[in-house]
């Protein structure tokens, strides 16, 4: 009995994919020096697991047998990262020491980090692990702090103990743990500025509404203090909440990144605004530990890049591929992982370094050369991916006082939500793959089907395409934008010349 291998199921994460991992624990016969070894591609956090497990068991008055203890994490070719292996290793040891019944543990998937006093600490990735367990008809053991997110995985048995003692007591039948309740992350009443607080800027507000309705990327260009950052920050107030399916997808990513607020499912659309000093791994994912980056945390939501030219060039260029494909590929030591990253890019910038290009009273002596240098930091291909480019001119002080108050965010939000619902129905019928949900995501034949043009509109687009030397991508982007504009115009099926004209007005070909 003593030499039999005890087995505990746990998981490894590859992007948001979950791979089953078998923790095998063997207590060797006497002979040789006592040792405790973990094999099977463990990273540093797992190597340190030994010390935490030893101390946690010691705090319960249990000492490890003075024999050769071998823990194997199988399959050996999958890289294991993270601290969630502590608990499965500890349970494997307890089973191998015949303190816990092996059969009882056989159909559990186990995750958790141990503290030295045998508390079970929060770990990342419990939601995807719970969904994996549900898919395989397994049960789940996770930290108490993660119970709220695990419970969303459906009708599975979940144990969410606070510490090792509670878990042992439950498994031995002397105390019963109740199933945790599913929690919604309530990020609280975050104060978002209302659209009506912004004076003037009617064009920019209209553009923002179109961007929100169709999920289009948008760039705002204007002098300092004209309200660009303020405009962007009103977006969360006009975007509809996540659908249940989106909520699960987004929460999986945030669960892996450890940014799920209060360990519950997210219902508000993510809005991420990384600082321009953000590094490339912070933005697109990866780094020392495989973690989703800002663009994945913004999945199904908004990525706001303020002061766009201040971002490092390589960082900006790395967004080009995810902007097209809706996912990001992160290279690891010997494999790649992908994270979903279907985000809407909203960016803001000044037209030049001093910010006052075109204003003869204020612009610096280097204008307009400095503007060309500044704007050249954003490459052509990057600009080509931005459907809406709008000027946000300075509002003069008399205008600030005189301007009538515009629509409230709630009014615009109602319209946006209506247009989003319309697109939902449209793509449910037409796109069987289920990846396209917004006009801005439609390509190829699908775009042709959803965007029939009136003859005059088609002629206008052809003419503009030639004159403005639109790239193929630019041409299709105008079509998508015109589709959203027609949707906002009472849900018109056929796109008219006025819709195309407005779509064209949101494309600048030289910034200065």
Q: Which residues bind Mg ion (CB under 5 A)?
A: 229
227 binds ligand ATP (CB under 6 A): yes
Task: Give me the residue whose beta carbon is nearest to Mg ion.
Answer: 229
Site string for ligand ATP, 449-488 (x = CB under 6 A): ----------------------------------------
Asked if residue 201 binds ligand ATP (CB under 6 A), the reply is yes
The smaller minimum CB distance to ligand ATP, of residues 193 and 261, is found at 193
**What gap in Å lies between CA 280 and CA 60, rounded to an integer?**
44
Q: Using the minimum distance from each CB to Mg ion, give the nearer residue, 158 or 348.
A: 348
Q: Find which of ligand ATP, Mg ion, none residue 395 binds, CB within 5 to 8 Å per kind.
A: ligand ATP
Helix, strand, or coil (residue 200) = coil
Residue with smaller CB distance to ligand ATP, 259 or 512: 512
Q: Which among Mg ion, ligand ATP, none contacts residue 93 (Cβ within 5 to 8 A by kind)? A: none
12 versus 346: smaller Cβ distance to Mg ion: 346
Q: Is 268 in the site for ligand ATP (CB under 6 A)?
A: no
Question: How many whole angstroms separate alpha carbon 146 and alpha carbon 263?
Answer: 6
Q: Minimum distance from CB of 268 to Mg ion (Å)? A: 23
β-pairing verdict for 218-221 and 158-159: unpaired
| Piece of the chain touching ligand ATP by CB under 6 A; list 46-54, 108-116, 223-231, 407-415 | 223-231
Q: 180 or 236: whose CB is closer to Mg ion?
A: 236
CB of 383 to ligand ATP, least distance (A): 18
Q: Which of Mg ion, ligand ATP, none does residue 45 bind to, with CB < 5 to 8 Å depending on kind?
A: none
Residue 422 DSSP SS3: helix
Q: Is 467 exposed, middle or buried (0-12, 13-18, 19+ CB in 10 A)?
A: exposed
Closest separation in Å from C-beta 411 to ligand ATP: 18
Other beta carbons within 10 angstroms of residue 211's beta carbon come to 28
Using rule CB under 6 A, residue 203 touches ligand ATP: no
Cβ of residue 348: shortest distance to ligand ATP, in angstroms?
A: 6
Q: SS3 letters for 257-320? A: HCCCHHHCECCCCCEECCCCCCCHHHHHCCCCCCCCCHHHHCCCCEEEECCHHHCCHHHHHCCH
- End-to-end Cα separation, the chain, in angstroms: 79
Query: What's the half-sphere exposure (Cβ side, CA atoms, 13 Å) at 492?
Result: 16
Length of the chain: 512
Q: CB nearest ligand ATP: which residue? A: 227
Judged by CB, which is closer to Mg ion: 229, or 417?
229
- The nearer residue to ligand ATP, 38 or 392, going by C-beta atoms, is 392
| 226 contributes a contact to ligand ATP by CB under 6 A | yes
**Binding mask of the shown chain, residues 385 to 424, with x at each position contacting ligand ATP by CB under 6 A:** ----------x-----------------------------
C-alpha 509/C-alpha 470 separation (Å) is 9
Q: Tell me if 375 contacts ligand ATP by CB under 6 A.
A: no
Which span sits near ligand ATP by CB under 6 A: 87-95, 192-200, 430-438, 441-449? 192-200
Quote the least distance from Cβ 37 to ligand ATP, whole Å. 56
Q: What one-character DSSP code corresponds to residue 376? A: T
Q: Give whichever of 115 and 203 is closer to ligand ATP, judged by the CB atom.
A: 203
15 vs 200, which CB is nearer to ligand ATP?
A: 200
- As a whole number of angstroms, the distance between CA 178 and CA 158 comes to 8
350 binds ligand ATP (CB under 6 A): yes
State both tokens at 206: 């209209």
* Site for ligand ATP contains 146 (CB under 6 A): no
Coil, strand or helix: which one is 172? Answer: coil
Q: Do 496 and 454 meet the contact criterion of CB atoms below 8 Å apart?
A: yes
**92 or 351, CB closer to ligand ATP?**
351
225 binds ligand ATP per the rule CB under 6 A:
yes
Query: Which member of 134, 198, 219, 280 binds ligand ATP (CB under 6 A)?
Result: 198
255: helix, strand or coil: helix
Nearest residue to 89 via CA among 26, 34, 144? 26
The two tokens of residue 64 are: 């490890």
Tell me which of 50, 52, 54, 228 binds ligand ATP, using CB under 6 A: 228
Distance (Å, whole) CA 228 – CA 224: 8
Rounded CA-CA distance 206/389 in Å is: 12
3-state DSSP of 91-159:
HHHHHHCCCCCHHHHCCEEECCEECCCCEEECCCCHHHHHHHHHHCCCEEECCHHHHHHHHHHCCCCEE
- The minimum distance between CB 402 and ligand ATP, in angstroms, equals 12
- Residues making contact with ligand ATP (CB under 6 A): 198-201, 222, 224-230, 348, 350, 395
């Amino acid at each position: 009995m003593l030499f039999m291998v005890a087995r505990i199921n746990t998981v490894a994460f590859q992007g948001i994919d979950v791979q089953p991992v078998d923790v095998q624990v063997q207590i060797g016969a006497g002979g040789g020096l006592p040792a405790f070894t973990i094999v099977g591609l463990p990273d540093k956090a797992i190597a340190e697991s030994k010390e935490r497990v030893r101390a946690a068991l010691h705090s319960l008055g249990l000492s490890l047998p003075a024999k050769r203890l071998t823990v194997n994490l199988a399959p050996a070719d999958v890289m294991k990262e993270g601290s969630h292996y502590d608990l499965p290793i500890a349970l494997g040891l307890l089973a191998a020491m015949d303190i816990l019944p092996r059969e009882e543990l056989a159909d559990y998937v186990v995750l958790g980090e141990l503290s030295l006093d045998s508390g079970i600490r929060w770990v990342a990735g419990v939601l995807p692990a719970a969904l994996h367990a549900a898919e395989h008809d397994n049960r789940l053991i996770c930290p108490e702090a993660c119970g709220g997110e695990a419970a969303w995985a459906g009708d599975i048995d979940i144990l969410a103990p606070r510490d090792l003692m509670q878990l042992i007591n439950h498994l031995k039948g002397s105390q019963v743990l109740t199933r945790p309740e599913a929690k919604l992350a309530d990020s609280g009443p975050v104060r978002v500025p209302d659209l009506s607080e912004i004076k003037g800027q009617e064009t920019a507000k209209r553009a923002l509404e179109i961007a929100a309705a169709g999920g289009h990327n948008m760039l705002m260009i204007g002098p300092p203090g004209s309200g660009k950052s303020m405009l962007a920050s009103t977006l969360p107030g006009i975007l509809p909440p996540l659908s249940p399916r989106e909520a699960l997808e987004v929460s999986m990513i945030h669960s892996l990144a450890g940014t799920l607020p209060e360990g519950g499912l997210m219902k508000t659309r993510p809005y991420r605004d990384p600082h321009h000093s953000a590094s490339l791994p912070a933005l697109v994912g990866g780094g020392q530990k495989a973690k989703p980056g800002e663009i994945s945390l913004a999945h199904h939501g908004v990525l706001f890049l303020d002061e766009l030219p201040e971002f490092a060039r390589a960082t900006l260029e790395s967004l080009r591929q995810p902007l097209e494909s809706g996912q990001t590929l992160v290279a690891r030591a010997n494999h790649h992982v992908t994270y979903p990253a279907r985000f809407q890019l909203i960016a803001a910038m000044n037209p030049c370094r001093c910010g006052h290009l075109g204003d003869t009273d204020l612009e610096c002596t280097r204008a307009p050369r400095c503007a060309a240098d500044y704007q050249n930091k954003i490459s052509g291909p990057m600009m080509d991916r931005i459907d809406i480019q709008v000027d946000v001119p300075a509002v003069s002080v008399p205008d600030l006082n005189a301007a009538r108050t515009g629509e409230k965010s709630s009014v615009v939000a109602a319209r946006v939500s209506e247009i989003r619902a319309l697109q939902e129905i449209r793509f449910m019928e037409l796109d069987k793959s289920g990846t396209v949900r917004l006009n801005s995501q439609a390509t190829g034949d699908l775009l042709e089907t959803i965007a029939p043009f009136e003859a005059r509109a088609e002629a206008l687009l052809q003419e503009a395409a030639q004159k403005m030397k639109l790239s193929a991508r630019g041409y299709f982007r105008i079509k998508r934008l015109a589709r959203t504009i027609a949707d906002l115009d009472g849900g018109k099926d056929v796109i008219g010349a006025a819709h195309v004209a407005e779509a064209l007005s949101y494309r600048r070909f030289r910034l200065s």
